[in-house]
Structure 1
């Protein structure tokens, strides 16, 4: 990401650019990545409690460092470094200001990779960390900026992380998490669906297909983790989740957005999603 910009950081020189003072040395970047990773729980708590720092520039340097250790150093553990950097970026997107989010999400996209089952591991440090992650994700939906969310796609980026950070002790937050996620999903589908309707004969866009796959995979992972031993839903949690699903299916209203106005319209009947409910 960002092209050949080693010279901007002072990491290299070319015949076309003036030598720049080192912005952060590679060793300093390595130290920062490891320092924040080792204390990632308290780093997130500090950003939630005290400030929303503008760190998209630092996340970009981290991202470029991944490319540096992969392509220049040919470091055999570059994938481990990438995974740490990617989680730090995900954690930052949970609290980043709106003007920082587009850059942060683009950096996350640039470092994303296709995971296999063996790659999927719990990403929370402990139950307290999990609770902070879920609460920060839920808070994103309290800002009443659905239009901007759809354009930025920041929930899409967060959904690559949040379902992997659910601790058994946080089941009380699951129903609210699912409720916001489902509502955002419908908003996105309706908005993109209207775009698709204008593309006569071309069918559903690849963008919409990818979103639906990510969205429903994330929802499924929230209620049925891929490792049964990680946690089991309590009966009261199952009941709350079913209430959310029924509210979406029967007579609930959601907000549908187009370019000129906001309309209220009934939700679609999600009877075809029985498989989702039957995971219990």
Structure 2
């Protein structure tokens, strides 16, 4: 029986909830039937094409699906239709669609309204649903959605919140030496059912590389949303893939770890309080690789990217939606990117950045007494930034 007491992972009802066109609504039957046909096509791409074929065949199945991606994405807004997206082959199919888009246009994030962005969001939502389902929490989440029928919060936001809550337990399991990779289909674990692959490890690295190459537009796309899509599941996928690579180290492992770290920090710059701790935990593991590779090399793509990074940092520390942020580790982690992303074209933002750094330093003083060792790295980051 579902409890009538709101669980602690539930998003606050008064908080903003994604773009205006991504609020909860009821999908008309005609659009649902169309969307199901599109999902079937996406799943067939998952089964029919390898990444090598996609590199050579730029048009396979793309024209049929591209114009109606928005219809499929609308399934995430209706408690009655979101369950259609909990199919593993959708994740793989979206990955291959993104590869097609990349081959055609050279980028998967042209603008926040383009189909590359829509396909990327569909992949993320389907991944979240599959993970929550494999953690045996989807039925409970769906029941809560029906119970809270009058809320504006769309189902995919609640699924993302549920997944974030589960990932806290996964980090505890990691600390205890337990297997976390069964959920992706990469391993088997005692007491856990064997799962089909969501993405293979090479596909996972290929997806991360596509996002890395578009990191400027990736940040622009998520910064433009009223509320950012939850990427904890996606980042956890990348994170665990890199952890597994350490079992058979390769020459480019540190480069991949450094790139993951930057993508995670870029997301940390714009994500809300519900996901920032999980992202911070991942950053803690990968910090050394980021700092050891080209430590003084610029991390921004161009002046526009620099301005956005600095603006996002300022906004994150001054919006006031998370009073505890200035007492946490996240701003110190953001600074590792910010200090190497200052372009001459963004100098007008430096005084405000310095003010934020000073305010962050003062806010830590009440926590430092008796715990200098614990906060030593943060203090060093602050002094380095100044």
Spell out the pairing of 1:1-280 with structure 2 (5 A cutoff). Answer: 2=174, 3-14=178-189, 16-50=191-225, 51-71=227-247, 73-113=248-288, 115-116=291-292, 118-145=294-321, 147-189=323-365, 191-193=366-368, 195-196=369-370, 205-219=372-386
Distance, in Å, in 2 between the alignment partners of 1:161 and 1:22 is 33
Distance, in Å, in 1 between the alignment partners of 2:278 and 2:293 is 29
Distance, in Å, in 2 between the alignment partners of 1:102 and 1:61 is 16
Counterpart of 1:158 in 2: which secondary structure?
A: helix
Please report how far the alpha carbon of residue 208 of structure 1 lies from its aligned counterpart in structure 2 after TM superposition. 3.2
Q: What is the TM-score of this pair, normalised by structure 1?
A: 0.69
Distance, in Å, in 2 between the alignment partners of 1:121 and 1:100 is 28
8 A Cα contact 1:101 1:152, kept in partner:
no
> Tell me, which stretches of 5 or more residues in structure 2 are unaligned?
1-170
RMSD of the TM alignment (CA)? Answer: 2.0
> Structure 1 residues 53 and 172 mapped into 2: Cα distance closer, same or farther (>3 Å)?
same
Please report how far the alpha carbon of residue 18 of structure 1 lies from its aligned counterpart in structure 2 after TM superposition. 2.2
Please report how far the alpha carbon of residue 116 of structure 1 lies from its aligned counterpart in structure 2 after TM superposition. 4.8
Aligned length: 209
Please report how far the alpha carbon of residue 142 of structure 1 lies from its aligned counterpart in structure 2 after TM superposition. 2.3
Deviation digits for residues 127-159 of structure 1 (CA, Å, limit 9, x no counterpart): 000000000000012222564114442101101
8 A Cα contact 1:41 1:129, kept in partner:
yes
> Larger % of helix: which?
2
Q: Which runs of 4+ in 1 moved over 6 A?
A: none
Counterpart of 2:237 in 1: which secondary structure?
A: helix
